Structures are given as structure tokens and as C-alpha cells.
A and B are shown apart, each in its own frame.
Chain A
Amino acid sequence: MEGVRPPEEWIRAAAETPRGYGAMKRKEDARFVRGRGRYVDDVVLPGMLHGAVLRSPLAHARIVAIDTSAAEAHPRVRAVITGETLAVLGLAWMPTLMQDTQAVLATDKVRFQGQEVAFVVADDHYAARDALDLIDVEYEPLPPTIDARRALEPDAPVVRDDQEGRTDNHVFDWSSGDAAATDAVFAEAAARPDQQVIGADVLYPRVHPAPLETCGAVADMDPVTGKLTLWTTTQAPHAHRTIYAMVAGLPEHKIRVVSPDIGGGFGNKVGIYPGYVCAIVASIVTGVPVKWMEDRSENLMSTSFARDYHMRGEVAVTADGRLRAVRVHVLADHGAFNATAQPTAFPAGFFGVFTGSYDLEAAHCAVTGVYTHKAPGGVAYACSFRITEAVYLIERLVDVVAHDLGMDPAELRRRNLLRPDQFPYRSATGWEYDSGDYPHTLQVALEKAGYDELRREQAELWRRHAAGEDVPLRGIGLSFFTEAVGAGPRRTMDILGLGMADGAELRVHPTGKAVLRVSCQSQGQGHETTFAQVVAAELGISPDDVEVVHGDTDQTPFGLGTYGSRSTPVSGAATAIVARKVRERAKIVAAAMMEAELEDLEWRHGSWAVRGVEGASRTLAEIALAAHSDLELPEGVEGHLDATTVYNPPNLTYPCGAYVCVVDVDPGTGEVHVRRFVAVDDCGVRINPMIVEGQVHGGLADGVGMALMQSIAFDLEGNCLGGSFMDYLLPTALECPSWELGETVTPSPHHPIGAKGVGESATVGSPPAVVNAVIDALSPYGVRHADMPLTPAAVWRAMQGRPLRTDLAIS
């Protein structure tokens, strides 16, 4: 049966790479398949209490009074915390990652539906939930600002009137590129008969990462030692520890953040949420551990949404399809608090990569952020700091250009893709792309898809449809993306002043077994396996002999965490380098063991060997034992093999990929069926191709979900219409085709092992491919654009020439 076995190349790769790379079973899986993973909600501590958050039913209201007496009288309730309680401690508000403030528990007003108002601590989860119903909050409802496109109008209700002197909802303006040079190209294109300006309004609607495990924490403040242990769902345990120290005024060495097994993150677990802070305060107040796990509605309604970018893009293009310049305006909806997580100098993240994979003369974008009465966030969702939005825009625009010029979208891309000889390439907005062979990657994808044959089939179906036959409309969608992942360098990239560099420590025990300690935190990426493989490859030992420790700030060196596809580019590089340091230390010991000169030693088949002397070699295990023994070492050499390092990346890595999606649209109902999806990724050297492919598979499903069904719209009263899994639809196995994957390999020239990040490539690259396919299918109806999610209703309305606005309630 085809397509059901692990691809042969995984098996081959494992056999052919003596260095430790290649497909191998994941070390972490033995516990997961037995149900012995340990997630935050599995943590049970003696005497532990349970917290629950009372949330606002209204998007905008003044809090007149909160009566907690009935809840406090509940026999199983131990404490009720309100904004007033927190204000006494100076904790009613907390700083966001973007140097704004966010209410932990509302004091003056509520500013979005689902905002945290009170926190109940009870003996058990059921009683805590019961007590929420006993809290009486008197609200004075106020008109909200919901439609981002009207947020800057003079009569729009002001969201952040907590900020003194504020009279509007403007958050920031940010721009990138050369406005004058770009305008000049556009003026010329508009004036010349052989050129034109083509534009489109493109919405990347609000979506939510929705990992299957919701967010939560168990806070355990030891009243005797004053040490806080926080078991929590975090993708960035070290950064969280530092921020808690800054926010709560706790000494940092008295905070231990433990991120155990994490049930998916996708960016949702980068931010710090009010519930975590409430759990900490509750543990301080009650003197015992307190667990808080949000339910699914809380997760969807209050934590870190993603995207919500209203974009206007224009392209200056010649009649023969040469893209000259791109100009973009973005209205960015940040919700009630600017809690997006981007490197400090990048309020719109890496949206500046909107020039995509194309050789442009000029480009400029201007982004305006606004507050609305909606949940805060904008953190992520596997977006590589807003590259998702950038790639979606440019790839949608390229298809609009192809549509308007009557050109084949593959040919249009071919004419404009960067050439291999242009690398390293400095983009019109200043990004230095490290490597790639874009035309080759595109060609591999087109051949794998059988592109020309697909076009012939499509034409035949279109012909039959026009003749009145009952056939589906076939659509073929392409996208070509360039990602920019692996932040820092620390000189230009930081989170709240913390430079984006990662530490690593490698210890080699006397018997040659190794323990690697890294700062990043797996949420399913398989770090325990791939990082062991990197160490194994560098030291000539088995990955089974390397234990990877992560997710505990008391046990691991500092680093910024796992998001933005940065683990392999940054912590993976740190791992390779720290292993090389160990190898160099081992060389000195090996020289002493074999009484050879250092310069006569060579690294051969995973051992240090004397050049030209048969049999004179020492394995790492032999060297490790000697390093801990009574062996006389040269002056100044300490013994043991352990090493540490901090890796500050010189540049981002730039993975790329070419995707082809094939869909059928039912012209009667607007239903979309994804028939095929071909994804060719170039993420440089693949440490474990099995895991890489798994990462790509997940991202492709995400793309199908965002393109076709995931929706968090709001009605004009501010009610969230995507607050449960019955409303916020995630794709099942029935909506996903059997993914067809391919690869090209262009190593990163600056990464120690030539690897690039891949975790988010498919999430970035797949939505435009799916949307382009659907729009392509509808081209017999003259459709050139419609916004995600392309639900059956949205598709049918696009066919009628009356597209739906997908960020607001359907009326």
C-alpha cells in the first residue's frame, strides 16, 4: 500500500551517515506512547489547591463593584483574589513583552471579552469552578471599539484610557525600506504604457495557535526558603524566570521555572499570562502550591492570538511580468494590550521580509498598530515573527499579478526568483539572505506535482463545467517562500533587553556517556533526539549515550527559548560548538594518553588518532576515563572534558520552499477538497530527516486549517465568535491529504553544521498555496482574491462577487 511506510530515504539516511545524523526513533517517545509523559496538569504536589479565573462577559465596561463574599463563604474556597488585592502588592498590572502594560486582574475597567477579573482558590477544581458563579460583579457597559479599520476614527471609544492623556487607539507606526525610491518606481510604472501597478487588499485574519494542551501552571512558593518553583507551560523558561523576577520583585536565584513535557506550543506558550501570575500570588497568599489550568474557551478567548493584519499591497510590474517594486500598508490589530512578542526593535516582527523570494528594485512597508477591545496577543502561531503575514501577502500578490497579466503563476515566479549567484543577497529592506537555489527548488516541486499535466486536467474540467456538466472546479496553487529564522544576533535582537543568544553545557562522564544541557524547550520538536544526534556526530558516540536536559532553569544554562524556529539555528549551533570544545579538550588528553604531539593527531572515524599510525587511536569513552584518572596532563590543562558555550548567531538562517496545492471546489456548495499537497523544503542540512518531515507535515495541516476553517471573528459588541473547538475549527485527518514531500539541500554557510530552522516553514508557506489554489479554481468566475478562512460560505460569496468580511460576524 503506497504512502503508508516510512519513506525509504529515512532508512537510507540512517544507514549512510556514520556521524549520527539520519532518521532514528525518537528517544522521548518511549514515555509518550506509554502515557508516561509529564505535562503540567499531571503535576500533583502535597496540599495543592486549585485556582480558577473569573472572566468578563463584556468587551468594554466599567467595574462598579465586585462582591466576593458569597464565594469566600463557600466551604471549599480558600481565597478569592481581585485586582484590588493585587494592587496592594503592586501586581494589578504587569509589563508585556512589548513594553506595554497589561492588567493581571482588572481594576478600573474590562477591555475585552474574557478578560481576567478575579481568581478563586479552592480545594479542588470543581469547587473553584462553582465558586466563580458566586462572585457578583456589577458592570457598567460601555461601547467598544471592535472594527480595527475604524479604530483610529476620532469618535472611536478609547481602549487605553488607563494611560494618562491618551485620546486615541494608536499604538505605533513602523516602516521599512526606502519610501522615496519605491514611490519613484511606482510613479514610473503608472506612467509607462508597458508597465502597471497592481494591488489588492489582503486580510490575514486573527487565528489562534491552539496547542492541544492549554496553558497552565503550578506555583509552589516555599514559605521557609522563599524559593518559588513554577511548573508551567512555557516555551522560554529562562526568559520567563527573568521576567518574573522583574515583575514580582522576587530575587531571580529564588525562582525555578520548570517546563516539563509540553503538549504543543506553536507560540501560544511564549507569553506570560495573568493566570500564571495569579497562581504565584495565590501560592504566596495561601502558603501551599496552587495549580491553574485554563480551559479551552479561556485559551482561545484570552491568550495570544496571532496575525490580525489588514494589508494593502501593490506591485509595480512590467507587461512581461518583471516585478519591480512592492509597496505595503498594514493596519495591525493588537487588541487591548500590546502584548505581542517580537524582538524589541521590531514592533511588526520580521514583516520586513515581505519582499519574499524575489529580486526587487525597491520596496517599502508602513505598519500602523491599533488597540481594539479584543484579546491581546499577536505573539506567534508558528509565524517566525510575522513572516507568515509577509509571505502570505507577497505570494497572494504574485498570484494577483499573474491573474491580471494573464500569466501562468509558475512562470511569473520563475522570472522573478532570486538566482543562486545572487547569494548572499541583501534585500531591498536590508535582510541578508544566506543561501538558496530557488529556481531549482521550484523546479523540483513542479516536477513532483506534475504541474503541466495538472494544468491540462484543470483546463479539461473547466471546459466540462462551462458545458454544464456536474464536475468540480480544479485549482492549482503555488507558493514560494523564504523564511528568516534563528534570532539573534543579540546585537540587533533582544526580548525586553535580553539578547537572543543561547547557552549550552556538555558534560562527559568518566564512562564516556554525555549530558547536554540546553536552554531551549521542546514542545514536541524532538530535541532529546536531534540534539543528542548532533553531540553524537561531533564526538563519535551513539545518540543513545547522550542525555539531553532541558526545561528546568535550575539545571540548564540561560537562553531565550524555543519559538521562531530558533532551536536548531541557535541552540543546535551551540550544541555543535560545545561538543567541538569537548572534542578539543579530548584531543589534549588523547595526546597525553598516546604520548603524541597535538599536531600529529587527527579526528578519524569518531576517535582521536595519531596520523599515519595504524591502531593508535582513542575513543571518547577511553579519553573520558583517562581525563578523570591519574593520567598526567600537560601544564595548564585541568582535566575532565566538560565545556560550556554561548552561541550568538551571526545572522538568521533563511530556509525556503516551493509548495503546490491542488484543490477541487464544488461549484454548487463552495466546499473545498484538498486533493494533493506537494511540499519541497530546503532547510539546509537535515539532522534527522524523519523529524524534519514531521515538522513539515504539521505545518501543512496548520496551513489547510488557517486557509479553510480557523476563524476568530467578533461581532460589533465584542463577542468572540471563535471561543470553543466547536467554533474554532481545526483540521482533522479527513481534511488533510497524504502529504507529498521533497527536499533540496543548500547548507547555511554560517551555521556550524549548515542547518537552518524548519519548525515553521510549512505554516508560513502553506496558507498562500491553499488560498492560491482555491482562487485559481474560481478563476472561471473572475475571482482574483478572497480572504481566509475560505469556508464554503466564503467561497460561494466570492463566486457571487460579494466576498465576506471574515474578521467580523457574518450578518
Chain B
Amino acid sequence: MEITVVVNGRPHTRDVEPRLLLTHFLRDELSLTGTHWGCDTTTCGACTVRLDGVPVKSCTVLAVMADGARVDTVEGLATGWGEGDLDPVQQGFMTCHGLQCGFCTPGMLMTSRALLDQDPDPSPETIREAISGQICRCTGYENIVRSVRWAAEAEQAARATAASTEASGVSS
């Protein structure tokens, strides 16, 4: 059946089998291979994307169920090709060694971004809870927690700078 999914801001229309999983829609139909998969049982979270803003395991969503929805993947996080164009969570993972083999990373990034959008100052415990549906076999999670905290602090600092710039702009 024909579906249209808005992926990373762009609508994509495809004729798909009803049984096609969203993971495979992204990887095989749209060649967005940044979304990975690692199990059959909705356990590992390597396939995590945002569906209408909410992080979900795309291996357990049919592509047809996403018809008309907005899907965001790791490929849509950065605004350009420069290092400065990276999303703060991407910068955080690089700075704090929040990844090793990189396989769980796209899913972790999407969950982290969604968390910070809801809670700009999450505690380490909150971060651990938020990523507890995702398996990382390399990092032992500690540096992922640090990475998300780094991003939270970077965004807070950026907001503070923006606010003070605005304030000084008003006074002058």
C-alpha cells in the first residue's frame, strides 16, 4: 500500500508491503542505514528513532502504521557537515567517549535528544532510566551518561549566553 512518511523533515512516498517494519523502510527503502537493528524481541533498542517526536523501537512499528507521521533519525540530527553543525548530543558523545563500536549510538542519540527536549537538566539517574531500553555492549554506559550531561550543560550554557545577549540588546 502507498504511504507517506515525513522523515527528517522531508516527505517520502513509497508503495510498501503492510508487513514492512519501519526499520527496514528507513534502511532499505530510504537508504538511511544509520538506524541499526540488533535483536528480534524489541529488547536492544539499536533501531530507536523518534515517531512524532517520541522515541520508539522502529523494529516494532510497521511502516504502514507510520503513514502520515513524522520520523526523525540520526541522519537528521546535525544541521550541516561541519563539526559545529552537530547537535549537542552528538558533540557530547564525541567529547566524552560515549561510543566505541558505534552500533547502538544512533539509537542512544535519538533517546538522548528526546530526553533533553523534555528535561533540559536530567540527573545521571534520569539518564540511565531513559536509556534503559537500549543495550550498549561497549561503554558500560558511564560515558553515555557523561555525554548526555555534557550536552545538557552545553545547551544550558548556550541558552544563558543567548539570554544575556538578548537582555543586553534590550538595554542598549
Contact surface of A with B, Cβ cutoff 8 Å = 1, 3-6, 25-26, 28-39, 41-42, 44, 125-126, 210-214, 261-264, 266, 295-297, 523-526, 690-691, 693-702, 724-726, 730, 732-734, 736, 738-739
Contact A211 B101, beta carbon cutoff 8 Å: yes
Tell whether A35 pairs with B146 under 8 Å between CB atoms, given A212-B44, A524-B102: no
Q: Which A residues touch B96, using CB under 8 A?
A: 5-6
Contact A34 B139, beta carbon cutoff 8 Å: no
B50: CB under 8 A from chain A?
no
Contact A34 B90, beta carbon cutoff 8 Å: yes
23 cross-chain CB contacts under 8 A: A1-B124, A4-B146, A6-B96, A28-B102, A29-B93, A29-B94, A33-B102, A34-B75, A35-B73, A35-B106, A126-B19, A211-B137, A212-B137, A213-B101, A263-B36, A296-B40, A524-B100, A690-B97, A697-B142, A733-B128, A733-B141, A733-B145, A736-B141
Contact A738 B145, beta carbon cutoff 8 Å: yes
Q: Which B residues touch A44, using CB under 8 A?
A: 31
Distance in Å: Cβ of B142 to nearest Cβ of chain A: 5
Question: Which chain A residue has the least Cβ–Cβ distance from B135?
Answer: A730
A109 and B37 CA atoms in complex are apart in Å by 33
Q: Which A residues touch B136, using CB under 8 A?
A: 212, 733
Contact B44 A725, beta carbon cutoff 8 Å: yes
Q: Which A residues touch B32, using CB under 8 A?
A: 35
Contact A39 B36, beta carbon cutoff 8 Å: yes
B143: CB under 8 A from chain A?
yes
A38 and B31 CA atoms in complex are apart in Å by 12
Q: Which B residues touch A525, using CB under 8 A?
A: 100
- A contacts with B: majority SS: loop
Contact B39 A296, beta carbon cutoff 8 Å: yes
A25 and B78 CA atoms in complex are apart in Å by 18
Q: Which A residues touch B60, using CB under 8 A?
A: none
Distance in Å: Cβ of B20 to nearest Cβ of chain A: 8
Contact A39 B103, beta carbon cutoff 8 Å: yes
Contact A263 B94, beta carbon cutoff 8 Å: no
B41: CB under 8 A from chain A?
yes
B46: CB under 8 A from chain A?
yes
Contact B39 A724, beta carbon cutoff 8 Å: yes
Q: Which A residues touch B101, using CB under 8 A?
A: 211-213, 261-264, 523-524
Distance in Å: Cβ of B63 to nearest Cβ of chain A: 12
Contact A736 B140, beta carbon cutoff 8 Å: yes
Contact B103 A694, beta carbon cutoff 8 Å: no
Q: Which A residues touch B74, using CB under 8 A?
A: 33-35
Q: Which B residues touch A4, using CB under 8 A?
A: 124, 145-146, 149-150
Which B residues between 73 and 121 are near A, CB-CB below 8 angstroms?
73-75, 77-78, 83, 86, 90, 93-97, 99-106, 109
A403 and B77 CA atoms in complex are apart in Å by 55
Given A126, A262, A263, A296, which contacts B41 in the complex, CB threshold below 8 Å? A296
Q: Which A residues touch B137, using CB under 8 A?
A: 210-212, 264, 266, 698, 702, 730
Contact B40 A32, beta carbon cutoff 8 Å: no
Tell whether A213 pairs with B99 under 8 Å between CB atoms, given A694-B138, A698-B137: no
A261 and B36 CA atoms in complex are apart in Å by 13
B68: CB under 8 A from chain A?
no
Q: Which A residues touch B161, using CB under 8 A?
A: none
Given A37-B103, A212-B104, A524-B99, 15 more pairs with CB closer than 8 A: A5-B150, A32-B105, A33-B94, A34-B34, A37-B34, A44-B31, A214-B38, A297-B40, A524-B138, A693-B97, A700-B140, A724-B40, A726-B41, A733-B128, A734-B132
Given B39, B127, B132, which contacts A725 in the complex, CB threshold below 8 Å? B39
Interface centre among A4, A29, A210, A738 (most CB of B within 10 A): A4
Q: Which B residues touch A726, using CB under 8 A?
A: 41, 43
B17: CB under 8 A from chain A?
yes
Given A5, A698, A699, which contacts B146 in the complex, CB threshold below 8 Å? A5
Q: Which B residues touch A262, using CB under 8 A?
A: 101
Question: Which chain B residue has the least Cβ–Cβ distance from A727?
Answer: B41
Q: Which A residues touch B73, using CB under 8 A?
A: 35
Q: Which A residues touch B103, using CB under 8 A?
A: 37, 39, 211-213, 263-264, 524
Given A42, A694, A733, which contacts B97 in the complex, CB threshold below 8 Å? A694
Contact A212 B135, beta carbon cutoff 8 Å: yes
Q: Which B residues touch A693, using CB under 8 A?
A: 97
Tell whether A33 pairs with B99 under 8 Å between CB atoms, given A213-B36, A263-B36: yes
Question: Which chain B residue has the least Cβ–Cβ distance from A726?
Answer: B41
Distance in Å: Cβ of A315 to nearest Cβ of chain B: 32
A701 and B141 CA atoms in complex are apart in Å by 8
B123: CB under 8 A from chain A?
yes
A206 and B90 CA atoms in complex are apart in Å by 37
Q: Which B residues touch A739, using CB under 8 A?
A: 140, 142
Q: Which A residues touch B143, using CB under 8 A?
A: 694, 697
A41 and B35 CA atoms in complex are apart in Å by 11
Contact A1 B106, beta carbon cutoff 8 Å: no
A44 and B145 CA atoms in complex are apart in Å by 34
Contact A26 B34, beta carbon cutoff 8 Å: no
B129: CB under 8 A from chain A?
yes
B131: CB under 8 A from chain A?
yes
A33 and B98 CA atoms in complex are apart in Å by 10
Given B43, B94, B104, B144, which contacts A26 in the complex, CB threshold below 8 Å? B94
Contact B141 A264, beta carbon cutoff 8 Å: no
Contact B102 A263, beta carbon cutoff 8 Å: yes
Q: Which B residues touch A736, using CB under 8 A?
A: 140-142
A704 and B35 CA atoms in complex are apart in Å by 28
A37 and B43 CA atoms in complex are apart in Å by 22
A733 and B140 CA atoms in complex are apart in Å by 7
